[in-house]
Each structure stands twice: as structure tokens, then as C-alpha cells.
Chain A
Amino acid sequence: MSGNKTCRRIGRRTFEYISRPSVAGAGSVAGEMEGQGPQAEWFDVVLNDDRMGQATWEKAESKMLGTAVEYAMKDAGVSRRDVDAILCGDLLNQLMASSFMARDLAVPFLGVYGACSTMTESMLLGGALVDGGYCRTVITGASSHFSTAERQFRMPLEHGNQRALSAQWTATAAGALVISSEQDSHMRLTHATIGRIVDPGIMDSSCMGAAMAPAAFHTIQNHLRDLGRKPLDYDLILTGDLGSIGRRILVDFSERGSKLPHLSEVYDDCGAMMYDVSRQDVHAGGSGCGCSGSIIAGRICKEMREGKIRRAMLVSTGALMSTISTQQGESIPGIAHAVTVEYV
């Protein structure tokens, strides 16, 4: 029975996309503050009103994700009818932004939750659906909005409080990709690693970078080991939202004892890239699913299609705590999923 099956597993944790699904289109939207940061030129849309003319912040986030999806479809030259499934997620309870976006789009929908790791989680799954022949064209994406995340995870917007210096700023941003076996593109998915949860025991929810760095290390190390590669075999290894603190921890930990030698030469982090910390009061950088979502769908896709990046490992990172788990005395579990994309 298993004779026809092609095993795609490589090593312990990695698998290969044999048909090399293409990233046929990308769309990215960023909020006002993100539009004043160093990544501004790469976004398809920069909002001048984070509310997008909507009655609530949640509706605004939904619309923002919908806009990213629209741009991705336009970029790929596909219409709604060509899309077999859309896989996306956000940070809100019951994936409110994604579900309501998908309701309006009326395309088969799979909600994906991986906290801020959602972008590569949805890419990994969407790529597998296409590679396995279960879908021809899928859309994958993720969004986050400062004003919806604040109210769900922290304090009301108008409350006068001080954020910890290690805290990160939830990016108002969304990214979407069209992954397809029908469309040709220079950017292809080649390999992926599903991360496992690594919980280093951080209790403080304003230290997310430190909570997620070990998971990122674990996933990157497994991905490289399974493929027999070293960091320098990549043009770019990009984590999701470790921020400036988590970024330094990952580099220090990886290069100490040469566990991942020369990582810092090819490494960057979307959270650390999103804002100009000298001008923007974001403390340890950006976070949120939209942070890596919009930078992957913005800068990374554009640079890869131009051939400036030939091989990149995208590793969105997530902190899988809930609003009540920290109150119940649980530590913060970290996760990271890796997808390697190549210029073909």
C-alpha cells in the first residue's frame, strides 16, 4: 500500500517540498507607526489611519488582513475562484480578525493559531497542501494590530502606565502570500521544520524575546542539522519577533561554543528590524504575527524575486501563553517554525 507514497521526511524534524511550491504573490500592509520605520518602503500599503475607517479596532484588523490578501492575489494574478483554501491567523480570541476576513472573502478557510509564529506556520501548512496535491493554490497569512492586542493582553489604550524596558510593541501589520503549484515564480518553498515547544521558564510576559529565543535556536539547529547545512549556507536566517533582546540572546547562545557558527553574519530578526528604536518609543522592538508576516510578504519576497536573496530560512517565533495562563502561574512556552525558501 505504501509503495506509491513518497517520503518527504529528512532527518528527525524536517521535510522537503518535493514539487517546490511557488510563492506566486505577496501582499503586505503596515500601520502608521510601522510606516515611519525603516521597513516602510517595502510595504504595499502603509495606513494613515490605523482604524481604517472602521467602527472597531477588530474590524480594522480584519480589513487590514483582507487588504493584504487582496494585494497578494492581485500580485499573483489569481482571483478568489482560483484559491482552494486560505490559511491564516491572528492574536485575537477565536481568531476574530481572520475568521471575519474569511467570511467576507468566501473562500474555504482554515484558522491557524501559533501566536506570533503564525506566518511560517501557515506557510508550512499551505506549502504542504500544495505539495501534496490537495490544493492547487492557497493563501497563507497573518495579522496583528496594536490596539486589539493591547486590549486583549494588556491594558486599555488610554490607561497611563509605563511599559517595561524589555517589552515589545505589537506591530499593526498584516502579510499574505499566494502559494501555488499552478503559477510560476522565482521564489519557491523547499524545506520546513515544525518546531516543538521549548519553555525556558520565563514568567514575565514583558520578556517575550527571552522566552522565545530557545525555541528559535532549537528549530534553526534542527533544520540545519537535518539538511546538513551551516548558517553560512544561507543568505538570510530571519526570526519573527525576538526583538532586540531576544536577538542578542540567540546570537550569543548560538555562537558560544560554536553551536551555530557565524550565525550573526546572516541573521536578523523582524522585531528588531521593524522600528527605528532611536526615534520610536518601542523599547525592545516589534512583535505580533503581522511583524514577521508583513516583513516576509514585503521585503523578503521582493528581495528574493529580484535575486538579492538566494536562500532564506524564515523562522516566525511565538509565545504560546494565554491571558489567564500567566495569572495561573504558568511560564511562557516558546515555539518557532522554519521554512526555507529559495530563488529558483
Chain B
Amino acid sequence: MKYNQYADGFSPAPTCLKNCLLAFLTGGAICETGHLIRAAVMSAGADAETAGMWTTVALICTAQLITGLGWYNTLGRIGGAGAAVPITGFANSVVSPALEYKKEGIILGTGAKIFSLSGPVLAVGFSVSAAAGILYKLLGLL
């Protein structure tokens, strides 16, 4: 462990403040775009639930397109967590391996690798919601 500490002394200090600020701005901009879409759909006469659905669809599709055009990696490099946490980040983590492994075929390439990044997120998400559901049910029995 001593060498680790010695070596750490030569690494540049992480730019936490700058990263946080950029993440806040990027993530905020994505979410604000969502708000605007939602407001536009609602002003066209949709109810809140339908507008929410269209907002999700619009954000995911846009993120997929931007990934395909090769821009999302730049957004992620600058925005960090701000680009990763919103639903657009999830879309990017599905589309980027799908594109990357296209050359190995639709089934064994794209098909097998499409969830290679988002798979762990899904697995944890499913497990936690199942556990929360059971807990909720048990608490209800008391």
C-alpha cells in the first residue's frame, strides 16, 4: 500500500468542483429540455401522464440519434454524471455497445452485447425493486 500512496502523489488532483459544475449544467440542460417537451405536449392538449410518456420517448430517441451521430461521447466526456444519470445516459449505454458490436453480426454481436453496459444496471434495478416490493408488502401486513 505504501507504493500506492507514493504513486498517488504524482497523479494530478481531481478537478471535483469543475466536474460537479459541468455535470450540473449538462444534466440540468437535459432535464430542462424534458420539461419543455412535456409543457409543449401538454399545451397541445395531452394529460400529464401521456405528456410524460412522450417526453421519455423523445429524450430516449434523441439520445439514440446523438449516439449514432457520434456526439454523445463528447457530451459524456464534458458532462460526466450529468450526461450519464438522466434517461438519455441509459439510452446511450444501450446504443453504444449495439453499434460497437454490429460487425460481429446482429445476433451474436449486437444481440449479445447490447445490454453489456446496461445489463448490470437492469439487474440491480430489478433486484432492488423486487426487494422493495416484498418489504412494502410485509410492512402492509403489520
Contacts and interface: CB of A to CB of B under 8 A. Distances in A.
Interface of A: 55-56, 151, 155-163, 165-166, 200-202, 207, 210, 213-214, 245, 248-249, 252, 281
Contacts of B4: 200-202
A214 B96 contact: no
The 3 closest A-B pairs by CB, nearest first: A160-B76, A156-B100, A210-B7
Given A158-B100, A160-B92, 18 more contacts: A156-B117, A158-B73, A158-B92, A158-B96, A159-B96, A160-B72, A160-B75, A160-B77, A160-B79, A160-B84, A160-B89, A165-B15, A200-B4, A201-B3, A201-B4, A213-B7, A214-B3, A252-B10
Interface string B69-89: 010111111011001100001
A165 B73 CA distance: 17
B7 A158 contact: no
Interface of B: 1, 3-4, 6-7, 10-12, 14-15, 19, 67-68, 70, 72-77, 79-80, 83-84, 89, 92-93, 95-97, 99-101, 103, 117
Given A55-B103, A155-B117, A161-B77, A202 B96 contact: no
B70 A207 contact: no
Contacts of A165: 11-12, 14-15
B19 to A, nearest CB: 8
A162 B12 contact: no
A305 to B, nearest CB: 35
Contacts of A200: 3-4, 7
A155 B101 CA distance: 12
A55 B105 CA distance: 13
A155 B80 contact: no
17 contacts: A157-B96, A159-B76, A159-B92, A160-B83, A160-B92, A161-B76, A161-B77, A162-B76, A162-B77, A163-B77, A166-B11, A200-B4, A202-B4, A202-B7, A245-B11, A249-B7, A281-B77
